[in-house]
Chain A
């Protein structure tokens, strides 16, 4: 009987754990280590952040699901990985620290045969002075942050109702952010709600982003066939910004956030500032900071993780200029090159390089989106990794058997532009592949028959259906495994 340990119970980890139990649970042990007692369907945090959904609608308690499924759940944070075991050798293990109230702070060594690191991002608010909900700006990255943003939003609405003017700044809180899409959705949901509440005329909205052009979204943007033209997403994105009366400020690295002022530098080296009453700025992401030790207790963190804390897997990591990047650089099996029983899934893996072209300001400040790792690839990677582990455990496979390269898969993404059963809209997008492959698709790097986008009410319905469907799947209700990632 082998033990598969999964670190993290987010999109990648929960998917991995669910399939591990389905495929291996009868004969093997599945352990999940995660510090939060709840699973959060993060995409719907946007609606929590504008007060259209309650926190309870976007979270699910994990313990009952895991108990029913027969998964051993430890509510704890992984601290270090010991891939060679301890001084006496033996089984590799992870040191975890409990966060569950009853055992808070208690440490334990959890042995494993296979380990999946799906710990997601550390929200690195510390990278920018004054950034984050504990300082001067808001966030929607967790359900708690989103609930706090909703409270602040309501206060702003009340002020506007009393005739005051409010400045909203929404976007990225650092030059190396990813996840622009989430901030973008939040911007348009705010705008939609302001209109619905009859105070739109009292608000000025600003989109602040590290993208070179609007509509980059960390993917270098995308080209779409529409209206008889092949058009870059920049055009559609600027169109939406103009339609909704939003001012935009691009190529920006946020340098500091004061209580009512955000400072930023742009690629041309100029320094700017924007006054705000309400600012929601996404932080840059880092790895969660796991350490690693060899059998003698010597630190080997750099063997397992890159300097930002993301885990090395089977990507082509040698540095090379943008012009030489290839689709084949992207990991396929997510197996660590030193320890074949160690995998990473979701945001936790180290990408070989960004997708958007790296840019530096004249002062040498890097300002460009870091690579995106959205929900669909995160879940698909989690499932592929566990399928490989299953084949190694039960079918005698000696190497990983399943792949999920972001340069070989597409993504379906729905970006909300306002909630409402009859008045809502969202941009429904598909992109194939996520990472452009200029060898296969020389002109635009993508298959233009599978890359598509459209704004409308149908998108809102789809986004809502996805919310219901993925929470149903997370609860492991009847037929859950048939629902695609």
Chain B
């Protein structure tokens, strides 16, 4: 990528490793994350309704 060359803008931020990218679309792991994220969202919704 052009903007990730040394001293270009994209050189400095962290970028995901191949492993991180793999887990992002791994079906089993993502099914588990779906559950966890939903639980998190439900907690936020609960905390928001007075």
Contact = CB atoms under 8 A, between A and B. Distances in A.
Give the dominant DSSP class at B's interface. Answer: helix
Contacts of B26: 457
Given A239-B15, A245-B10, A425-B24, A461 B44 contact: no
Interface string B1-13: 1111000011111
A455 B15 CA distance: 13
Interface stretch (A262-270, A314-322, A408-416): A408-416
A454 B10 contact: no
Contacts of B40: 430, 450, 452
Contacts of A455: 24
A243 B41 CA distance: 27
Given A242-B4, A409-B48, A458-B34, A248 B9 contact: yes
Interface of A: 235, 238-239, 241-243, 245-248, 376, 380, 402-404, 408-412, 422-423, 425, 428, 430-432, 447, 450, 452, 454-459, 461-462, 484-485
Nearest to B16: A243
A205 to B, nearest CB: 10
Given A247-B10, A447-B47, A462-B38, 15 more contacts: A239-B14, A239-B16, A241-B13, A242-B12, A380-B49, A403-B50, A411-B48, A422-B25, A428-B41, A430-B40, A431-B44, A432-B44, A432-B48, A456-B33, A457-B25
Interface of B: 1-4, 9-16, 23-27, 30-31, 33-34, 37-38, 40-41, 43-45, 47-50
A180 to B, nearest CB: 18
Contacts of B23: 456
B1 to A, nearest CB: 4
Given A247-B9, A412-B41, A450-B47, A458 B3 contact: no
Contact of A412 (B11, B31, B45): B45
A462 B2 contact: no
Contact of B34 (A235, A422, A461): A461
Given A238-B13, A423-B25, A484-B45, A457 B30 contact: yes
A242 B13 contact: yes
5 contacts: A242-B9, A242-B10, A245-B2, A403-B50, A430-B43
A295 B7 CA distance: 66
Interface centre among A246, A408, A450, A485 (most CB of B within 10 A): A450
B24 A457 contact: yes
A402 B48 CA distance: 12
Nearest to A423: B25
A484 B41 CA distance: 11
B14 A459 contact: no
B24 A243 contact: no
A430 B27 CA distance: 22
A403 B48 CA distance: 10
Contacts of B44: 410-412, 430-432, 450
A331 to B, nearest CB: 14
A478 to B, nearest CB: 21
Nearest to A417: B24
A238 B12 CA distance: 9
A462 B49 CA distance: 21
A261 B12 CA distance: 28
Interface centre among B3, B12, B44 (most CB of A within 10 A): B44
Report the 3 A-B pairs with minimum CB-CB distance, sorted nearest first.
A242-B10, A409-B48, A238-B13
Nearest to A432: B44
A462 B13 CA distance: 27
A481 to B, nearest CB: 13
Interface centre among B2, B23, B41 (most CB of A within 10 A): B41
Contacts of B16: 239, 243
Nearest to B48: A409
A243 B15 contact: yes
Contact of B14 (A235, A447, A450): A235
A241 B47 contact: no
A55 to B, nearest CB: 28
B2 to A, nearest CB: 7
A175 B13 CA distance: 25
Contacts of A409: 47-49
Contacts of A238: 12-13
A402 B49 CA distance: 10
A248 to B, nearest CB: 7
Contacts of B25: 422-423, 425, 456-457
Contact of B30 (A403, A410, A456): A456
B14 A245 contact: no
A265 to B, nearest CB: 20
B32 to A, nearest CB: 8
A454 B37 CA distance: 9
A452 B4 CA distance: 27
A241 B1 CA distance: 11
